[in-house]
Amino acid sequence: MVQNARIATFAGGCFWCMVGPFEALPGVEKVLAGYTGGHKPNPTYQEVCYNDTGHYEAVQIEFNPEQVTYKDLLDIFWRQIDPTDPGGQFADRGQSYQTAIFYHDEEQRQLAEESKQELAKSGRFDRPIATAILPAAVFYPAEDYHQGYYRKNEMHYNMYKEGSGRACYIKKHWGNDDKKKALKAKLTPLQYEITQNNGTEPPFRNDFWDDKREGIYVDIVSGEPLFSSIDKFDSGCGWPSFTKPLNETQIKEKTDLSHGMVRTEVRSNEADSHLGHVFDDGPGPKGLRYCINSAALRFIPKDELVEQGYAEYLKLFYE
């Protein structure tokens, strides 16, 4: 054990599925699959699964608290399980597959209780949280073939995780959170606020309100083509304005009742990014003004359309 390392122990159903998520964390030194909480010394896998030994399948984690906190580990734990299931996990039923947090000291107990309460209040689940919080007991490492199973038997592991229902459940309940994390890493704070939280940037202080270059504007999140400089005009509002989208199927509209007004919100079709609003005070045959936030857009200059994979739009500038 490394100097100042600490121990955490979690039961989350089949221990094959609980090793990889923790091993991926910087600061985690070792993850062992094993058995804990029972009454028989040195149990075997067969005994735990088919006899009444009282053990849980669990993982014991050796971690460096200067690099990863116990709260970080709790967050990873909750995202791997169905915490509302008191009878096991997914296709695996019985006491040995029930979920539990085994605390090693009073601080861990308090943090576990707090995280459980926060999860219960979050509204993410429609049933009570059933995961037990228990004092740590003797931990017995499982047989060698169980250790790092997700690495040594990747194909079978992935088939099991999908077939058991765990992978689908995680995606359903936590997929949006993973998407948000990825977007926060990709986008600037302003771009994230605009596209994901329906924000609005300041007028006359944004990248494209007075940009007169030739090219197209694509969704900053997905890259889907949205508007062309050909349809851009100076509306005097301080935001980029367009008379129409490149293709109406790439834009969707939604009634917006925020701020005591009735407006029509504009969102991208593929990424569902908030773009801005459309008004009926513009020029052109339909009299529309698409008022769009610069932070929701990426500009592709005309001479880079082919290079960046938008060659089909080059013809617009030579018609």
Residue 138 has pLDDT above 80, yes or no: yes
Q: What is the per-residue pLDDT for 160? A: 94
Render pLDDT for 34-91 as a digit per residue (tens, 0 to 9).
Answer: 999 999 999 999 999 887 899 999 999 999 999 899 999 999 999 999 999 999 999 9
Which residue from 262, 251, 205 is spatially nearest to 228, judged by alpha carbons? 251
Check if 237 is active-site. no
Among 17, 49, 237, 291, the one annotated catalytic = 291
Please say if the pLDDT value at position 207 is more than 70: yes
Give me the chain's average pLDDT, please: 92
Nearest-CA neighbor of 73 among 31, 122, 38?
31
Structure tokens, 205: 């202080």
Under the banding of pLDDT at 50, 70 and 90, the label for residue 8 is: very high
Domains (range + CATH), the chain: 6-186 (3.30.1060.10), 197-318 (2.170.150.20)
What pLDDT is attached to residue 76? 92
User: Sorting pLDDT into bands at 50, 70 and 90, what band is 193?
Assistant: very high
pLDDT at position 3 is: 65
The proportion of the chain whose per-residue pLDDT surpasses 90, expressed as a percent, equals 75
- The average pLDDT across 283-309 equals 93
14 in catalytic set = yes
Question: Is residue 127 predicted with pLDDT exceeding 80?
Answer: yes
- What mean pLDDT comes out for the span 190-215? 94
Cβ within 8 Å of residue 81, ≥6 positions away: 12, 13, 89, 99, 131
Q: List the one residue out of 134, 162, 95 whose CA is nearest residue 9.
A: 134
**Would you say residue 25 has pLDDT above 90?**
no
Mean pLDDT, range 7-24, rounded to an integer:
94
Contact 74, 101 (CB under 8 A): yes
β-strand 92-93 against 99-103: which pairing, if any?
A: unpaired
| Torsion angles phi and psi, residue 178, rounded to 5 | -65, -40
Which token pair is 190?
Answer: 């302003």
240-282 confidence digits (pLDDT tens):
999 999 988 889 999 988 888 899 999 998 888 999 999 999 9
Position 154 pLDDT exceeds 90: no
Of the candidate ranges 5-14, 17-26, 134-143, the one whose mean pLDDT is the lowest: 17-26
Q: Are strands 139-141 and 88-89 parallel, antiparallel or unpaired?
A: unpaired
Of the listed 14, 17, 49, 237, which one is catalytic? 14
* Cα end-to-end distance, the chain, whole Å: 70
Whole-prediction pTM: 0.61
pLDDT of residue 1: 56
Q: Find out whether 244 and 284 touch, Cβ atoms under 8 Å.
A: yes
